[in-house]
Chains A and B, each alone.
Chain A
Amino acid sequence: MIEVEKLSKYYGSLAAVRDVSFRVGSGQVVGFLGPNGAGKSTTLRVLAGFVGASSGRVRIGGHDIEDERLEALGNIGYMPETAPLYVEMRVTEQLRFRAELKGVGRPGGRKAIAKEVSRVIERATIADVADVPISELSKGYRQRVALADALLGSPPLLILDEPSAGLDPNQIREVRSLIRDLGGEQTVLISSHILPEIEATCSEVVVIDQGTLVAMGTIADIRREQAPVAIRLVLSGVVEAALVAIEEHEVVENCTVAEGPHTQLVVQLKSEMVNDVGGATAKLVACCVATGALVREASPEAPSLEDVFSRLTRSEGERMEGGP
């Protein structure tokens, strides 16, 4: 549904997006992650046809966004970050206007438009404010009106830029549930830096930082790849010698110890061990056993998505200084 090839966008000499390439298949719900200023909104604006790319190609549903602009835009329901609406209009008026612009009434005329507007009002749960002027709506309601706008005409691709910004927890839950429901029938590209939201709604993520793509794939794969190779060890018996041996072991970066019924250690491995966590675990277990300690448990520590995100989006300098 989305094909992005070597996309770059420069504002003067400032590179907002550099050489980004990715693909999103039909029916997927994909999270677009990155810290503030990473180039998320710029990329989405290029995909939605609002901003032209400096170089590279974007195809939406097989149509080039530059050469077949109207065909490509006909496939997209776009919700910009600022949820812009015409404040002098009522909710139904705004949606009717937008439905007409998107050609929803062709063929079918007014009845088809009214039916579609009712459908999206129901889906975005804004029926209670349908006849209220937008100028009188709260930010949360405006956000949902903008979401309803994107849903008009059931476009094959939804591009949602920070869709739950400004919503209360109940509304966030409703929006997440709606997005999950949309997956399968529509492709959804959702930008956010709220990681639980991405984790709750998306099967795959694209992560960008400082305008460049730093990771792409399923959340589970990225976790696996980016896992800071930490191992949790639970020891019992005589552990003092084992603790010294582990701290001095060649594969260990650092180690924290928590006392409890048993001695629990979280052992952070050196970065070069990323691809051999199994081997490092075996070495540490052997090392403990050799000192006479009993190893009750040895398991890789699963990082949270926050850890992975933080690791991926730190600057190169910070990465060099901070290690894994």
Chain B
Amino acid sequence: MRGWWPIFKRELLSYYVTPLAWVVMTSFLVLQGMHFYVLVAQLAAQGSQGADAGPVQSFFGGTVLLYLPLLFVCPVLTMRLFAEERRSGTIEALLTTPVHVLGVVLGKYLAVLVAYVVMWLPTVLYMALVARHGDVQWPVVGAGYLGMFAVGAGYLAVGTMTSALTRSQLAAAITSAMAIIGLFMLGIGAFILPDGPGRELCAYVSVWGQMNDFSRGIIDTRRLVLDATLVVVPLFITVRAVESWRAP
């Protein structure tokens, strides 16, 4: 793990001194703001009340608008992690210091994970807004955010992995977007396949299904195990990929 802390700090700093993070964050918040506004306006028009079917549950589990932007935001956040270091040659200076490869990978991954969490933070204001005008079950809000954190953590790990597999940021972003969209599409199978193991598998990996549960405050540990697997396996591959650059 040696070396992860300075790498984490540098990566996090580099997000906010380049325009990329601000552009991504602004676009994401504009989309989520519109999403929240449309939901609230619709619920107000229906006169719907109650926490279960209210704006919180609808925000986290009612539409794909919550996590659809993630299919593009996560690849953009992760594309530069290793690809840029390889393109600019700084990877040579980095890997010739006495640091563990695992420390390098974790430092970078944790930085992008924190940037992702920071991106979501302003949306807590939406919940505060709802709380001013009605009851909010904060544990349900917490479960919703936990769901988005777990899903995002997996997507970011996939993006970290693809960034280590190519020198081109664009290729890294496209590859991870394709992988994440593939995972997302797999979940659609839960709606179209007949009953059986195939459908069950698709339902298990479905982000839709996961967020439907979490938005109602149901924390299904099977889903968390899947998300943890989606973090650990890509990061393991990333470590091996970085180690392979100095293969004999």
Contacts and interface: CB of A to CB of B under 8 A. Distances in A.
Interface stretch (A23-31, A76-84, A208-216, A256-264): A76-84
A101 B7 contact: yes
A52 B92 contact: no
10 contacts: A49-B95, A50-B96, A82-B89, A84-B89, A84-B93, A87-B88, A88-B17, A98-B93, A100-B6, A101-B3
A272 to B, nearest CB: 42
A54 B93 contact: no
A266 interface: no
A241 interface: no
Interface of B: 2-3, 5-7, 9-10, 14, 17-18, 88-100, 246-248
B96 A78 contact: yes
A116 interface: no
A74 interface: yes
Contacts of B98: 70-71, 73-74, 101-103
A101 B6 contact: yes
Nearest to B10: A97
Contacts of A89: 10, 14
B18 A88 contact: yes
A146 B90 CA distance: 11
B92 A82 contact: yes
B248 A85 contact: no
Contacts, number: 72
B96 A49 contact: yes
A97 B6 contact: yes
B92 A98 contact: no
Contacts of A74: 98
A51 B17 CA distance: 31
A9 B246 CA distance: 11
Interface in A125-171: 146, 149
Nearest to B248: A52
A147 B100 CA distance: 23
A54 B247 CA distance: 8
A70 B92 contact: no
A157 to B, nearest CB: 12
Contacts of A70: 2, 98-100
A292 B145 CA distance: 106
B14 A88 contact: yes
- Among B92, B93, B94, which residue has the most Cβ atoms of chain A within 10 A? B93
B247 A78 contact: no
Contacts of B88: 84, 87
